[in-house]
Amino acid sequence: MRRRPLRSALTLSALLLSAAWPATADTSAAQAAQEQRFDSLIKPADLKAWMEHMAAEPNQVGSPHDKANAAWQVAQFQSWGWDAHIESFDVLYPTPLHETLELTGPTPFRATLTEPPIASDPSSAHLAGALPAYVAYQGDGDVTAPLVYVNYGMPEDYAALARLGVDVRGKIVIARYGKGWRGLKPKLAQDHGAIGCIIYSDPHEDGYSLDRAYPDGPMRPPHGIQRGSVADMPLYPGDPLTPGIAPVPGAARLARADAKTILKIPTLPISYADAQVFLGALGGRLAPANFRGALPITYFVGPSAVPVHLEVKSDWQLHPIYDVIATLKGAAYPDQWVVRGNHHDGWVFGASDPLSGQVALMAEAQAIGALVKDGYRPKRTLVYASWDAEEPMLVGSTAWTSAHDDELRRHAVAYINTDGNARGIFSAEASADFGHAISQVADSVTDPETGVSVGVRARAALRVAATGDAAEDEAREAAKLAALPGHDLPVGPLGSGSDYSSFVQHLGVPAINLAFGEEGNAGGVYHSAYDSYTHHETWVDPGFVYDSLLAKTAGRLVLNLADADLPPQNPGGLAEAVSSYIAQIKKLAAHEREEAVTRAALLGAHAYTLAADPTRPMVPPPALDAVPVFDFAKLDAAAARLAKTATRYEVALKAKGPGLNVTAREKLQAVMLTIDETLAPPVGLPGRPWYKNLVSAPGRFTGYGAKTLPGVREAIEQRRWADAKLYIGVTADALDAYTSALEQAIAILTK
């Protein structure tokens, strides 16, 4: 469901430079032969046929085709030799009954809210069974009020509006997609007193400004609409009525009014063809420079002279959802599970998102099934999941992880996720101690466009992205690591936006998210009816080359994790990442401190008022409370202990691991199987305790984007000084717990 991560958003986690890592899998000729056989079993024609089938009709949650796809997948898995079944849950899934958006006044206009057919794309004319474009878990309502343009609708945009003297209380806001996650837009609007919200796709973000519009190019056409969930995911994802528990029949459900992730105000997504009319009706203050999109208008913030009428009414039924779970029992360590997932529900046809990743997962399962028929058995148990209801907000995966939380905590080695895929550069986000396992695979899979490994190509891309004066510090840091000979490929931290969230952020099970992208502009039709088989095949991955490559890459990682006798973690990568995050946070605190001082000086000198054009008055920004000096000693000490112990562990593992006897090896496996859970202690993040992982979480005000060491970092960003001080300690304790587990592992290795 999430858009392609940007290269520049990558932050770091990678193996300690000097540690030559013991192979996590058998490197013998037999393994090479098996990998070659595995790759030969991945056939682009299969992926293409599966996508055509699964994207043939609208497949959103609750649609007949989505249910049929699940049943069909069970049969497919079974035909490949897997145990497969459906696990069903009943979840709240609102669907629109009625939507109106109109501009009143002398030249009234009613928004079309529809995506017309495109001649060259047969899907687009066959929308029977599709829902009207909408955003799930908005608040229903019938409101009429003046309209205010709030740019991306992020906190800094409301700060800019406040400086213009514009507030949104009692107004309907119109926000453009981009910058922060979709759901924050209506959430922040309602927090600021707005009574309705429109979200539109400006051509500046994914329309003609970037490339030709579909069907002449990949980008969003004038009437393309981005659907999506606006559930308040940064509080908790999954079914809004059953936070933390499985939405099985008879589960204790919240009343809808008590479900905090359901928004309160009516919200609709619209196209830029429609939006231009509404934006064109705005007057009032000129929009600040960074509010300007690519429509051929002067952007004003409003309020509009004439009111806008917005009405949304939904059917708030529970719906059954269908997770497909396929398993293959491990021969040597059946109680250690390698979990692999992708979702199968889309917003309309869902070709790029999610089926491009789903058909890769199926290709892996088919190939593994074929290997098993040849006599192969993975040492660990494989669990392949095809999730339903990811789009409403990770509902299917969160339901399943709630239903199986204890088992997963005890058995899961790692969760490997994919989602929409495209052509181009390999990227990974992961628990930081899985960087080496990923890097090893990336360095062994060949990129079809260049002939080098996908790891070598990804390193090149990181290095090029960091050139130029505009590159950010984090991109430069990643590029530096990517250039170091022998260093692992840098992987980014996990935020949210796909099904890994409940694994890594709630249970503490390490997770990995893989994709190819940056070529083909798949994002142009993101979450619209134009995300079709024809669009994917024409613009995103012609020939299903990179979808097949994703299957080879993810499949190889699954098999490596399944068959390695020694634990896959490289704790040095975690240590390196944590130390880099701490440095960033210290810089952040210093920056905030300086800002507060500067702000106070400028306010004292009336500089904001004096500098402003009195015909366009600016309200001075508010004073900032002074930033205390934080004592980072505990965190520094914990990071130092972790780094030292990680090195000791890696040296010991290399020296002693291969020669361990069975008992010791099983003891070592047991320690390392649960070590990552130490990073997600029960306390959780301040104000949103569902999120327990203290190394990374989706940001409260970024949505999908990751915040690292979020207990500390977000407390400083949000000026919760007491929380910052508290979570310096809490985070240090979690790191110490990881270090203690490592000490146990070292003791086993060196006994």
Residues at the site binding a second copy, with contacts judged by CB under 8 A: 203, 208-213, 217, 219, 286, 289, 292, 294-298, 423-425, 449-450, 452, 456-457, 459-461, 463-465, 467, 483, 518-519, 598-599, 601-602, 605-611, 613-616
CA distance 59 to 65: 5
The residue (of 146 and 203) whose beta carbon lies closer to a second copy is: 203
**Which residues, 6+ apart, have CB-to-CB distance to 107 below 8 Å?**
none
- Residue 386 backbone zone (phi > 0: left; psi -120 to 50: alpha; other: beta): beta
Smallest distance, Å, CB 437 to a second copy?
Answer: 23
Smallest distance, Å, CB 422 to a second copy?
Answer: 11
Nearest to 208 by CA among 97, 295, 94: 295
Q: How many CB atoms lie within 10 A of CB 231?
A: 29
CA distance 299 to 293: 8
Smallest distance, Å, CB 291 to a second copy?
Answer: 11
Smallest distance, Å, CB 530 to a second copy?
Answer: 17
Does an H or E element contain 193, and which?
Answer: none
Smallest distance, Å, CB 373 to a second copy?
Answer: 37
The residue (of 106 and 614) whose beta carbon lies closer to a second copy is: 614
Smallest distance, Å, CB 407 to a second copy?
Answer: 42
The residue (of 466 and 712) whose beta carbon lies closer to a second copy is: 466
Smallest distance, Å, CB 202 to a second copy?
Answer: 12
The residue (of 217 and 320) whose beta carbon lies closer to a second copy is: 217
**Which residues, 6+ apart, have CB-to-CB distance to 700 below 8 Å?**
234, 687, 688, 707, 714, 718
Tokens of 252: 């204790």
Smallest distance, Å, CB 461 to a second copy?
Answer: 4
Specify whether the CB–CB gap between 416 and 553 falls below 8 A.
no
Q: How many Å separate Cα 106 from the centre of its chain? A: 44
Tokens 């209380």: give the residue. Answer: 169
The residue (of 169 and 606) whose beta carbon lies closer to a second copy is: 606
The residue (of 177 and 337) whose beta carbon lies closer to a second copy is: 177
Q: How many Å separate Cα 681 from the centre of its chain? A: 22
The residue (of 294 and 370) whose beta carbon lies closer to a second copy is: 294
Tokens of 316: 């708030």
Smallest distance, Å, CB 230 to a second copy?
Answer: 28
DSSP for 102-123, please give it.
EE-SSS-EE-------BTTBGG
CA distance 149 to 287: 8
Smallest distance, Å, CB 535 to a second copy?
Answer: 16
DSSP for 524-574, please give it.
GGTTSTT-SHHHIIIII-GGGHHHHHHHHHHHHHHHHHHH-SS----HHHH
Helix axes 545-563, 356-373, angle to 10 degrees: 50
Beta 172-176 vs 196-200: how paired, if at all?
A: parallel
Nearest to 60 by CA among 531, 385, 727: 531
Smallest distance, Å, CB 486 to a second copy?
Answer: 14
The residue (of 296 and 682) whose beta carbon lies closer to a second copy is: 296
Classify 680 as helix, strand or coil. coil
**Which residues, 6+ apart, have CB-to-CB distance to 677 below 8 Å?**
409, 507, 508, 509
- Residue 488 backbone zone (phi > 0: left; psi -120 to 50: alpha; other: beta): beta
Smallest distance, Å, CB 284 to a second copy?
Answer: 12
The residue (of 97 and 483) whose beta carbon lies closer to a second copy is: 483
The residue (of 489 and 646) whose beta carbon lies closer to a second copy is: 489
The residue (of 667 and 707) whose beta carbon lies closer to a second copy is: 707
The residue (of 31 and 209) whose beta carbon lies closer to a second copy is: 209
The residue (of 434 and 516) whose beta carbon lies closer to a second copy is: 516
Smallest distance, Å, CB 443 to a second copy?
Answer: 14
Nearest to 699 by CA among 180, 258, 55, 6: 180
**Which residues, 6+ apart, have CB-to-CB distance to 562 below 8 Å?**
330, 338, 378, 379, 380, 382
The residue (of 219 and 270) whose beta carbon lies closer to a second copy is: 219
Smallest distance, Å, CB 465 to a second copy?
Answer: 8
**What's at 320, amino acid-wise?**
P
